[in-house]
Amino acid sequence: MIKSVILAAGKGTRMKSQTPKVLHKIFEKPLLGYVLDNVKNIADESFVIVGHHAEQVTEYVEKNYSSAKTVLQSPQLGTGHAVSMVCPHLENFDGQVIILCGDTPLIKEETLKDFIEYHNSQNSDLTVMSTVFENPTNYGRIIRDTDNSLKCIVEEKDATQEQKTVKEVNAGIYCLNWAKIKPAFSQLTSNNAQGEYYLTDIISWGKKQGLRVNAYILKNSDEIYGINSRQNLATATKIMNDRKLSDLMANGVTIVDPSSTWISEDTQIGSDTTIFPATYIEGENIIGKNCKIGPCAHLRGGVEVADNCKIGNFVELKKAKIDHNTNVGHLSYIGDSELGSNVNIGAGTITANYNPLTKEKSKTVLKNNVKIGSNTVLVAPVTVEEGANIGALSVITKNVSAWALALTRSPQRILENWVTKSLNK
């Protein structure tokens, strides 16, 4: 049995924000969400250590993760003190605990599984994840004994000049055999430059106890990239996006211009689909095979697009389910909607899904073979039955029956010689 502990109590002062650092977003998903998602298939229960703006972080966790709970750290006396907060919750636990940071959204589930497998294969009691940086500034250094075994971790502010030349650094992820390591948390001291209880001190503690202590070297150091500033946030977003685009292209998706295309990690796209430039896709989405998306399309999450569909330029989709062989013309907004197969949406169509007075959102349903003329507004809730046509420039507020034509356009008037008469006045 495995539990996870996620450190998310820090202030994140360099973010210069009223939002807790771990709730800052990449593709509209909080940093903490990425970490929780990457451990949910590994740990049966997660403990999120909260402190700064604890109420906001707790609200997010409780709303989105049933297998996670928050534990308050107050005051915040360091990372070792943070982990000690879960000791009462794991009083009789005899399994493994993995410890992660809530501001490292690039770590992969597969990496965590490999890390735990290494821990087990080495019969370790404690394993720390490390990596090698050419510029290790601000990271705790991995110090090894003469036999190359792990001796301790020294924080940057406590390191000697010689220790600062070490390029192998602490990645901030640990795997513990909890029953053996738990006593360390009542024995940590704060004799350091920060006056804090360092989690890294459990390494030297374990060595003194004669326990098996190892370090697992992570090859792709990008995965433990931490977010401490807006610049870091932008860099992490770029790394995540490049990784996603590479995976998609390797699996048969055409990305016409990777430099201007942004696609969330939680979006699935089928083979032979083409994503045109300046397209931005956030949240969780499923896009089928042989589709064309963009250019300049925006998918905001909760979107399902079946095979052989076209989503045109300057189209925005949000919580929309679109069946196969359907086209959504350019300059359109389709939100909280369900579109059947072989539907054609003319340019400039809007689903008016939001009532600003009640703050409620309603659904638009277009059945198979419906045709919507350009510059139409569909005021939800509304259903257009199979095969119906909507004339251009219509405002549809009532349901439309199958194979009918709906129009709300005013009759056209022509005033003969109006221009000539106006000029001659």
* Domain at 2-224, CATH homologous superfamily: Spore Coat Polysaccharide Biosynthesis Protein SpsA; Chain A (3.90.550.10)
Q: What is the pLDDT of residues 343-392, one digit of tens each?
A: 999 999 999 999 999 999 999 999 999 999 999 999 999 999 999 999 99
Task: Note the pLDDT of residue 347.
Answer: 97
Task: Please confirm, yes or no, whether 89 is among the known catalytic residues.
Answer: no
- pLDDT-derived band at 11 (thresholds 50, 70, 90) equals confident
Q: What is the pLDDT of residues 18-39, one digit of tens each?
A: 999 999 999 999 999 999 999 9
Q: What is the pLDDT of residues 37-74, one digit of tens each?
A: 999 999 999 999 999 999 999 999 999 999 999 999 99
Does pLDDT of 193 surpass 80?
Answer: no
Extents of the domains making up the chain: 2-224, 251-406
Task: Note the pLDDT of residue 190.
Answer: 86
Q: Could you report how far apart the first and last alpha carbons of the chain are, in Å? A: 90
Which residue of the set 24, 53, 81, 330 is catalytic?
A: 330
Task: Note the pLDDT of residue 313.
Answer: 97
Q: What is the pLDDT of residues 129-169, one digit of tens each?
A: 999 999 998 889 999 988 778 888 998 888 999 999 999 99
Tally of CB atoms within 10 A around 219: 9
| HEC readout, the chain | CEEEEEEECCCCHHHCCCCCHHHCEECCEEHHHHHHHHHCCCCCEEEEEECCCHHHHHHHHHHHCCCEEEEECCCCCCHHHHHHCCHHHHCCCCCEEEEEECCCCCCCHHHHHHHHHHHHHCCCCEEEEEEECCCCCCCCEEEECCCCCEEEEECHHHCCHHHHCCCEEEEEEEEEEHHHHHHHHHCCCCCCCCCCCCCCHHHHHHHHCCCCEEEEECCCHHHHCCCCCHHHHHHHHHHHHHHHHHHHHHCCCEECCHHHCEECCCEEECCCCEECCCCEECCCEEECCCCEECCCCEECCCEEECCCCEECCCCEEEEEEECCCCEECCCCEEEEEEECCCCEECCCCEEECEECCCCEECCEEECCCCEECCCCEEECCEEECCCCEECCCCEECCCECCCCEECCCCCCCCCCCHHHHHHCC
pTM (predicted TM-score)? 0.92
Domain 251-406: which CATH number of 2.160.10.10, 1.10.3720.10, 2.120.10.30, 3.40.630.190: 2.160.10.10
Does pLDDT of 425 surpass 80?
Answer: no
